[in-house]
Amino acid sequence: MRVIHLIAGPDRPVPKEELDEHVCEFLYSLLRFESNEAASLGISSPIYDAVHSHYWLSGRVGRLAAERWRIPLLQSFHTLGRVKNINLSPGDEPEPAARITAEERIVEQADCILAPTIEEARDLVRLYGAEPDRVRVVTPGVDTEVFTPGDRSAAKQALGLGGRDVVLFAGRFQLLKSPDLAVRAVARLCEVAPGLDPVLLMLGGPSGRAGLRAEDLEKLAADLGIADRVLLRDPVPHDDLPGFYRAADAVLVPSRTESFGLVALEASACGTPVVATDVGGLRTAVRDGVTGSLVAGRDPEDFARALAHILTDQRSAAAMGQAGARYARRYDWRRAAADLLLVYEEQSALLAEASGS
């Protein structure tokens, strides 16, 4: 595998909302690179057998490149603009019409659309008119050699959390991920289960113009009287996440929508029960009542009661943790890679058949 960095856009950080302006330049860099590679190898263009683009912006590039090279286009969206807009939080910015239009065109032209769950596959058909026989479900995976259960007490000590009841939120501080709901849920938890000593550990940072700042969450915690129970940390390297998952008594994923919900699956792999919203891909990542709890709606009280059950019933929590670790092994990265490779091989065979070779 090669990772190739292409030059496009200005030499400065570019807000997510402005990335669309640099797609054409990125496409030009890709086509120029491929042409130079073909020349240096002494072979005819194209040097690739297929394009697999990720997210709608790369899908725009992939659609045009695949058309030019006359090779299959495979597309993974990861999130869908229409789904995000349907689940928009008050005060959040809707996805622009340009994104929806681009997604429609990609869906229309892609030879194969890869969805992480059956829920997204249905959304592609229902909201974008995708042909069902061109949509394949290939779920992401988790590295079960890195994300493993461990000693919770030792993990808490390593993070300076002592014997407190730790609730972990890991994700971007944006309204779609609902970090504010996590704060409200823990505030209610203090009232629902006064015998607990909960602390909400939040790993993440703001994202996008409508993203929440750490100061916003700190103010909310202070207004709710739990300023001393909310700890905010900057994002950590991916390989450091297992230590945080192991230190948590429960992981909270209150997102308005998720195409999959990898945080939930990583937490399960580490033997930690998950409380998540009953939406989208989280219905696949969490087995309700087995590896954690799925909560319908947006009421902090419901999330608080689900957390209280896990934090007060040690036997049930242990059973969920053990079941979660077993369940996560079904989504090992090696299995995910094998499933994806099978789709690549199918598309290659279809291309060969169509070209008569």
- Give which of 167, 161, 201 is closest to 303, Cα–Cα: 167
**312 and 207 within one domain:** yes
Q: Is 269 a domain residue? A: yes
**How many structural domains compose the chain?**
2
Q: How confident is the model at residue 291 (pLDDT cuts 50, 70, 90)?
A: very high
The pLDDT, as a whole number, for residue 351 is 76
Q: Is 273 a domain residue? A: yes
**212 and 91 within one domain:** no
**94 and 20 within one domain:** yes
Residue 121: C-alpha distances to residues 78, 83, 124, 166 (Å): 11, 12, 5, 35
Which residues are CB-neighbours of 223 under 8 A, at least 6 positions away?
A: none
Using the structure block, give the residue that is written with the tokens 């008119």.
129
**176 and 324 within one domain:** yes
**228 and 110 within one domain:** no
Q: Is 10 a domain residue? A: no
- Compute the distance between CA of residue 348 and CA of residue 116 in angstroms, rounded to an integer: 21
**236 and 108 within one domain:** no
The CATH number of residue 270's host domain is: 3.40.50.2000
Domain that holds residue 312: 152-331
**187 and 104 within one domain:** no
pLDDT digits (tens, 9 = 90+) for 119-159: 999 999 999 999 999 999 999 999 999 999 999 999 999 99
Predicted structure pTM score? 0.92
Q: What is the mean pLDDT of the chain?
A: 95
**308 and 193 within one domain:** yes
**221 and 199 within one domain:** yes
pLDDT digits (tens, 9 = 90+) for 35-74: 999 999 999 989 999 999 999 999 999 999 999 999 999 9
Count how many Cα atoms sit within 13 Å of the Cα of residue 122 in the half-sphere of its side chain.
5
Q: Is 294 a domain residue? A: yes
Secondary element (H or E) of residue 135:
strand 135-137
Secondary element (H or E) of residue 113:
strand 112-115
